[in-house]
Structure 1
Amino acid sequence: MSQTQPGSPRAYKQELKRDLSLWENSSLVISATTPATGAFIIAPVLFGLNGTGAALTFSIAAVLGLSLAYCWAELGAAYPIAGGDYTFIARILGRAPGFVSMFITGPVQAVLIPAVVALGMAEYLRVIVNVDANILGAVIIIGGAVIALFGVRLNAIAVTVLLIVEILTVVLVAVFGFINVQRPVTTLLRPEVFDAQGIASPLTLSALVAGIAVGSFAYNGFQGALIFSEETVGARRNVARAVFIALGVAVACEVFPVAAATLAAPSLSELSNSNNPWQYVLTAIGGDTFNTVISLGIAVAVLNAVIALMPYYARILYSTGRDMAWPGAISRALAVVHPKYGTPWLATILVGIGGAVMILCSDVATLTTWTGALLAVEFILVATSALVSRLRNPELDRPYRMPLWPLWPIVAIVMSIAVLSQQVRADLVVAGACVLLALGYYVLYLRPRGETHFLMLAPPDEDRRELEAGMA
C-alpha cells in the first residue's frame, strides 16, 4: 500500500464549502447521532429484548461509546478528511480493511440507518396520519434528501432549530416519567425480561451483551465530526471537541428517558411486549392528548435526524467517489459537487433513493439488529487502528491524544468481540456477507488498479497547511 503522509504535495482539492463553526458541526453531529431516535425508536427494540434492563444496556453501551470516542477523537484530528472511518483505517491498517470499513459505513449504512430513522418517525406520525408506515417513511427520507441538497450550512441551521425541539421532547418525557414513578429505582439494577404471557425471568448475561449491539447503534453517529471536518473552520482543533459533545448529549438523552419509562410504566410486562412501548407509557401517564402531542414532538425530533443523516452519508459516498473506489464513471459522478450549493448532489440523491427502497421492503427491528452487528465489526477496525497508529507512526502529529492509551482501544475491541459473539446467526450472516463482498471486490477490482483507484491523498489545503506547520 502506498500511503500519502501529511505534507505531501498531492492533496485533495478543497471543493466542499468550509463555513461550519464548532457548534454548527456539533449540531449536525448530535442530530446525526439521533438521541431521540435512540430513545424512541431503538429503545422499543431493547424493551422487547432486554425488558427492564434496557436502561442498563444503554449505560454499558455508553462505556463502549466512550472508548471509541477517544479513538475517533485522536484519529479524526490526525486525519481531517471527509469520509470518516475508512480514510484513516486504510492509511493505518491497509487498503483492504479500509475498503471493508468504507463498504460498511458507506453504501451499506447509508441505506440502513436513515431507513431505520425514517420508518420509526412514520410510526409516531400515524397518531394523526393513517397511512402505511413504510410509504410514509419513504416520503420522509426523500424529503430529507431534497433539503440536504441546498447546502450543509442550511442543514446545520435547520437541524439546530429542530434539535431544540428534540431535546425538549426528550427532557419532557423524562421529567413526566420520573414524576409518575410506579416502582423503586432498584428495578433498573435487577433487570428482568417478560415472555408473551407476562412471566418474568432474570435477564441473562448473554442477552445483556447481545443488547449492547442495539444500544451502541443508538449512539452511532457522534463520529460524524470527522465526516464534516473538511467543511469545519479549524477542523483539527474542533473535531475532537465535537465528538465528545455529541456523545455526552446522546448518552443523557437515551439513558434518562428509558429509565423514566421503566419506572413509570403501569405494567412492565405490557411495556416489554407492546408494539409501541412509548405510546403505551405516554398514554398511561398523560392520556391520549398527551400521547398525541409528545408523539408529534418525537416525529419532529426524528425528522431532524433524517435531515442530518442525508448530508452525513452523502459525504461518505462523495469521498469514496473522490478516492476512485468504484469504476471510473461511477466514482466521477459521486464526486461531483453542485457549483452553487457546494454539496455532493448525486451522492445525496442516491442516499435518499436507497433508504426509501430499503424502507419499502423491511422493518425497524430487522434493520436495527443488522446494523448492530455491522457496527461491532466497524468498531473493531476503528479501535485496532488507534492501537496500531501509535505503534507504526509514533511521530504523527496528533492535535488530540487520548489519555491512558492503550486502555480505551483494548476496551473497545474486547467489548465489540463480546457483542459479536452473542448475535443471532442471521445478523452474523449479514455482517459476514458484507465483509466477504467488500474483500472480494477489493481483491478482484481495486488491488489490480492500485495506482489509479482507491487513492489516499493528503487533507485539503487548509488542513494540510496546519499539518505541515504543526499548528492545529
Structure 2
Amino acid sequence: MGSATGLKKELGALHLWGIAVGLVISGEYFGWNYGWKEAGTIGFLWATLLVTLMYATFIFSFTELTTAIPQAGGPFAYSRRAFGPFGGLVAGYATLVEFVFAPPAIAAALGAYVHFMFPDISVLTVGIAAYVVFVGLNIVGVKQAALFELIVTVLAVVELLVFMGVVAPGFSVSNFVANNEEFGIAGILAAIPFAIWFYLAIEGVAMAAEEAKEPKKSIPIAYITGILTLVVLAIGVMVLTGGVGDWRNFSGVDYPLPEAMATVVGKDSGWTHMLVSIGLFGIIASFHGIILGYSRQIFALARAGYLPPVLATIHPKFGTPHWALVAGAVVGIIALISGKTAELITLAAFGALVLYIISMAALFKLRATEPAMERPFKAPLYPAFPAIALVLSVFFLVVMTWFNPGTALIFALMFAPAYGYFLLTAKNRAELDIAIPPSLDVAPAEGLLARGDTDI
C-alpha cells in the first residue's frame, strides 16, 4: 500500500509561487462578478478593498505559522498544536469544505468557458472530464503537478495582463459608476463572499509545505509575492471590466471576461478567441492547484486518525496520496452536478473564514504558550496584523451567516458526521504513534509536531 507518513520534498520557491497564485487565479476570471448583483460596481469595490485588507494582513500572519510548522495539514496542524484534538478537527473540517467545494464551482466555470465557444459541448461533460484528467495528473507526482501548475499560472497571469491592455481603451468611468443608485451598505455586506473569491485558497500553499525544499525561505517568498500579484490582478480586472459597457450584462455569467472583451472588440475577434483559449489556463490552474491542496488536507487528517486511514495511503510508485485525490473528486463531481455555482462559492467562503479565524487564534495562542518555538518568519506589526485579520474574518463570517442562512445551516450540518467520526475514533487516535516523516524540516524539540502531531 505504500508509506502512510512521508511526502517527497521537491518544491522550490517558484513552484510555491505558482501554487499560491494558481490556486486563486480563476477567481479573477469568474465568480467575483456575482458580487455586482448584490452591491453594484461601487459597492463591490468597497467590499473588495475590505477583503483585500483582510487577506493582506492574514497572509503576512499565516506565513509565520506555515514556516514554523511546515506540515501537509496546514491549518489543521497549527490549530491542533494550539487547541488540541478538537481544534484540529474544526480547522481540518473548515479547510476541507473550502478546498473540496471550490473545485466544482471552478469546474462549472471551465465548462462554461468551453461552452461559450463550442455550444454543442455541455458544461457538465467538461467539468467531469477535468476532474478525471487533473486527478490523474496529481497522482503521477507532485513535482510534475507543480511544474504544470507553474506553467499554466504564468500563462494565466500574462493573459489577464493582455485582457487589461485590450479593454483599457474601452474603459469609461461613467460606465463603471452607472446604475448604482439602488445599492447601499447592505449590498456591500452581501457581496463579501464574492470578494473573498478573488483570493480564496491562497493559504493552500501550506498544504504543500511538507514538500518544500527550504520551507523557511521559499514559503515567505511565495506568499508575499503571491498576494501582491493577486491584488494587482484583482483590482485591475474588476475595475476595467466594470467600465467597458453595461456591467449588468456581465454580473450573472460564468465568463464575464470574454463578454467584456467581446463588448470592446467583438465576439469574433481574435483577441476574444485568445482570451477564451488561453484564459482556460487560469481556471485550470486553480482547479488543478486546489485538487493538490484538498488531497494533502485529506491525507493529513487521515494520517492523524480524523478520517479513515486508507485515505492516508501513499502510492508506492508515485509517492502521492492517490485515494485522497479520488475521494475529493467523488464529492466534487456530486457537487458539480448540482449546478449551484454561486452557492458553492459561498459554501467554500464559509470554510475559508472559519479556518482564517482559528488560524489567527492559533497564532496568538502559540505566541503565548510556545514563545521559544523557532519562527523563521514573524508576522510584521504583531499583534496588529493578525488582530485585523481575525476581527475582519469574524465580521465577515457573521455577515455571511446573516445574508446566507441556508448555506450557513448546510455548513453547520455537514460538521455533524465529521464530529461523529471524531468521537467514534478517539481511542484509535490515542493509540497512534506516527513517526515524524523524515522529510519534515522541524526541530525535534517542538513538542507535538516532533511526535507526528498525534493526540496526547
Question: Corresponding residue for 2:41?
Answer: 52
Does the 8 A contact of 2:31 with 2:254 survive in 1? no
Q: What letter matches 1:362 in structure 2?
A: G
Question: Corresponding residue for 2:431?
Answer: 452
Per-residue CA deviations over 1:391-410 (Å, capped at 9, x if unaligned) read 12212111111122111222
Alpha-carbon separation, structure 2, partners of 1:360 and 1:236: 41
Quick one: which of 438, 441, 452 aligns to 1:463? 441
Does the 8 A contact of 1:79 with 1:459 survive in 2? no
Residues 1:462 and 1:368: Cα distance change in structure 2 (over 3 Å): closer
Does the residue aligned with 1:59 lie in a helix, a strand or coil?
helix
- The yes-or-no answer on 1:340 pairing with 2:317 is yes
Does the 8 A contact of 2:113 with 2:280 survive in 1? yes
Quick one: which of 356, 368, 391 aligns to 1:379? 356
Quick one: which of 231, 242, 257 aligns to 1:278? 257
Residues 1:273 and 1:239: Cα distance change in structure 2 (over 3 Å): closer
Residues 1:271 and 1:20: Cα distance change in structure 2 (over 3 Å): closer
Quick one: which of 284, 292, 295 aligns to 1:314? 295
Does the 8 A contact of 1:322 with 1:335 survive in 2? yes
Does the 8 A contact of 1:127 with 1:292 survive in 2? no
Quick one: which of 242, 249, 268 aligns to 2:247? 268
Quick one: which of 226, 238, 241 aligns to 2:221? 241
- 1:155-234 alignment, distance < 5 Å: 155-183=145-173, 187=176, 200-234=180-214
Does the 8 A contact of 1:213 with 1:376 survive in 2? no
Question: Corresponding residue for 1:22?
Answer: 13
Question: Corresponding residue for 1:291?
Answer: 272
* Superposition deviation, residue 319 in structure 1: 1.2
* Superposition deviation, residue 158 in structure 1: 1.3
- The yes-or-no answer on 1:124 pairing with 2:105 is no
The count of aligned residue pairs is 437
Structure 2, gaps ≥5 residues long: 447-456
Residues 1:258 and 1:103: Cα distance change in structure 2 (over 3 Å): same
* Superposition deviation, residue 104 in structure 1: 2.1
Question: Corresponding residue for 1:254?
Answer: 234
Alpha-carbon separation, structure 1, partners of 2:6 and 2:421: 28
Give the structure-2-normalised TM-score: 0.89
Question: Corresponding residue for 2:450?
Answer: none
* Superposition deviation, residue 72 in structure 1: 1.3
Residues 1:16 and 1:381: Cα distance change in structure 2 (over 3 Å): same
Residues 1:336 and 1:276: Cα distance change in structure 2 (over 3 Å): closer
Does the 8 A contact of 2:71 with 2:440 survive in 1? no
Does the 8 A contact of 1:121 with 1:298 survive in 2? no
Per-residue CA deviations over 1:56-97 (Å, capped at 9, x if unaligned) read 322321111012112210111111111111111011022112
Q: What letter matches 1:463 in structure 2?
A: D
Question: Corresponding residue for 2:410?
Answer: 430
Question: Corresponding residue for 1:6?
Answer: none
Quick one: which of 354, 368, 378 aligns to 1:391? 368
Alpha-carbon separation, structure 2, partners of 1:403 and 1:152: 31
Alpha-carbon separation, structure 2, partners of 1:467 and 1:26: 30
* Superposition deviation, residue 456 in structure 1: 7.9
Does the 8 A contact of 2:18 with 2:154 survive in 1? no
Does the residue aligned with 2:181 lie in a helix, a strand or coil?
strand
- The yes-or-no answer on 1:78 pairing with 2:78 is no
Question: Corresponding residue for 1:152?
Answer: 142
Residues 1:162 and 1:94: Cα distance change in structure 2 (over 3 Å): same
Question: Corresponding residue for 1:197?
Answer: none
* Superposition deviation, residue 179 in structure 1: 1.8
Q: What letter matches 1:268 in structure 2?
A: W
Does the 8 A contact of 1:71 with 1:382 survive in 2? no
Alpha-carbon separation, structure 2, partners of 1:220 and 1:466: 33
- The yes-or-no answer on 1:405 pairing with 2:382 is yes
Alpha-carbon separation, structure 1, partners of 2:255 and 2:4: 48
Does the 8 A contact of 1:110 with 1:313 survive in 2? yes
Structure 1, gaps ≥5 residues long: 1-11, 195-199
* Superposition deviation, residue 293 in structure 1: 2.6
- The yes-or-no answer on 1:93 pairing with 2:70 is no
Q: What letter matches 1:249 in structure 2?
A: T
RMSD, matched Cα: 2.4
Does the 8 A contact of 1:75 with 1:386 survive in 2? yes
Give the structure-1-normalised TM-score: 0.86
Does the 8 A contact of 1:51 with 1:272 survive in 2? no
Per-residue CA deviations over 1:380-438 (Å, capped at 9, x if unaligned) read 11111111111122121111111221112221222122212222211221232234444
Alpha-carbon separation, structure 1, partners of 2:9 and 2:209: 9
Residues 1:251 and 1:375: Cα distance change in structure 2 (over 3 Å): same
- The yes-or-no answer on 1:354 pairing with 2:335 is no
Per-residue CA deviations over 1:105-146 (Å, capped at 9, x if unaligned) read 12x334311111111111011123322212321111221111
Q: Which is worse superposed, 120-129 or 288-297?
A: 288-297
Give the fraction of aligned pairs with identical amino acids, expressed as a percent.
Answer: 17
Question: Corresponding residue for 1:9?
Answer: none
Q: Which is worse superposed, 205-214 or 88-97?
A: 205-214
Does the 8 A contact of 1:458 with 1:464 survive in 2? no
Question: Corresponding residue for 1:323?
Answer: 304
Per-residue CA deviations over 1:343-376 (Å, capped at 9, x if unaligned) read 1111112222322222112321110112122222
